[in-house]
Amino acid sequence: MKKTLLLFVVLQLNVFSQNTEQETFINPIIPGGYPDPSICKVGDTFYIVNSTFEYFPGLPIHKSKDLINWELIGYGLHRKNQCDAQVNLMDVNSDGGIHAPTIRYNKGTFYIITTNVYYHEDTNTTDFVNFIITAKSPEGPWSEPHVLEGAPGIDPDIFFDDDGKVWYVGTHTPENPNYDGEGEIWLQEIDINNWKLIGERHYLWRGACGGVWVEGPHMYKRDNRYYLMVAEGGTSFNHAVMIAVSDKITGPYISNARNPILSTRQLSYDNWVHSTGHADLIELDDGRWYIVALGIRGDQDRGSNMGRETHLLPVQWEREPFWWKEVKYEWPVVAPKTGRVERKTAVPFEGTFQKRNLSFSDNFDDSELNLEWNFRRVPLDNVFSLEERKGFLRLFSKPNVIKERGRASLMGFRQTESDFEYNAKMSFNPKTNNSEAGISLIQKDDNYFTLTVIKEDKVNYIQLKLAEPQKYPEIIAKETLPDFKGDITFKVTSEPQGYSFYFAMNGSEFKLLEKTKANHILSKKYTGAYLGFYASSNGSKTKDYADFDWVNYKAFERH
């Protein structure tokens, strides 16, 4: 009864943050670490898939009726046996794994095409495994990966042409690059009955503005012309979207003279969002167009914990006005009024309003794990249970610790805003020396906080550990828990000036353990931060476990 009442109060506090200005929506439309968005439309429903790199389950799929309210409905990679052979997410390196998917629908089937990147330390080589998965429903189940042999590069696109042909649009480093980082887009037909590349390979385009790191291609057909859109310039401040056109899918392609069509290159490094790019276009039933693109918020030190997130912008097609041109091409103009991602933008459909669900609660009363929970790599066997103690998530301690290419008793959900309050209640009675359990805030294997109860020489302590790149993990705060009886509640608050770490026992008020700066786990590259749970026996065999009663995360928008 007490738990039900508590969760009722939590859920009341955890309501949607509704944008009262119903004529506008707020970007990002999918907050948190959701990079490299690709979008398709089936009937009156839109679907977006995103990159997940080393995380499992992989390839999250959201759906929406109005382009501004998105619901997580499943994952393309949701079974362990999809990810243990050629698509290896068992011991994949950080920032390897699943890169830049494309989602498309054709004749009753959904298709996702993407790359798994796996680095071999012993040989200093990298595998680029390009594959397709299919499903009749976007919720799944999704098929086993169909690997396309002989397909180099990353970020593939699949294009279904009007004549029935299916095309692979890929990237690679050309045979004789003019400079380091030069990329090239190539095209080849796919036999989707046998999952093979067939026919001649065509080399299409090396980009528009220098061609550095040309990637993320998408092919579109409009008014019998083929449009090839790419990302270019890397994933930082010079990231941009370029486009070219051809009368034939095999080329030659003519670059838009006004490229890039989306970028923050022309803006201050201190703009509210930067590094916008890696985009995908979508046409509405009424002929209007929109584009989804990633961007990085500049909340802290020109970055954020959330990393690359999904944004939405309007698109308007305009024909070239030049009288002297024999062929006057049409080109997409992104955000025609301002040319950039705006925090607030007019809603795509009249009469709709945005409900921004920035928060997350779980009381573990369901028989299956909430879709929001993720693991770094495919999780260890028997790492958690929702059955051992009803109404609790039991996280089993393993000898494993957090380390590069490793798997541990570690799970989490995405951070959605820089400012938040994160609470979790845990029961833990360790029997093994150096056994610990608690909460985590993790960016990478070498960049995280853990706030845990640890047993050392029959004494229980609470400790805060910080790991930063190129540094050995450091315990930055530690106190004995003489009155510890097994139950503890953790709280972390994040504000512009820093983090505050608290704990409470036996129904007492929260006690501050430590305050830190707010920039310790900023996203450095591809993924965003996760908040969650952690348990470890630090190398010893144990039967220890932690039972988590509930978790509540409430995020606060910056205006």
Active-site annotation, residues: 36, 215
Contacts of 551 (CB under 8 A, 6+ apart): 360, 361, 362, 422, 423, 424, 533
Contacts of 202 (CB under 8 A, 6+ apart): 186, 187, 188, 250, 251
Distance CA 528, CA 55 (A): 11
CB 522, CB 385: distance < 8 Å = no
List all residues 6 or more positions away from 163 whose beta carbon is below 8 Å from its beta carbon: none
- Kindly write down the DSSP assignment for every residue of 309-338, as one continuous string: EEEEEEEEEEE---TT-SS--EEEEESTTT
DSSP per-residue letters across 469-511: TTS--EEEEEEE-TT--SEEEEEEEEETTEEEEEEE-TT---E
What CA–CA distance (Å, rounded) separates 350 from 312?
Answer: 16
Amino acid letter for position 309: E
| Upstream peptide bond of 174 is cis (omega within 30 degrees of 0) | no
Contact 29, 295 (CB under 8 A): no
Work out the number of other CB atoms within 10 angstroms of the CB of residue 556: 16
Token couple for 163: 């004549």
Vertex 252, ends 250 and 255: CA angle to 5°?
120
| 303 within 8 A of 281, measured Cβ to Cβ | no
Instruction: Record the tokens describing residue 148, joined without a space.
Output: 């396309």
Whether the link from the prior residue into 314 is cis, omega within 30° of 0, is: no
Rg (CA), the chain: 24
Cα–Cα distance measured from residue 74 to residue 463, given in angstroms and rounded to the nearest whole number: 36
Calpha distance 322→223 (Å, rounded): 20
Tell me the backbone φ, ψ of residue 543, rounded to 5 degrees.
Answer: -110, 15
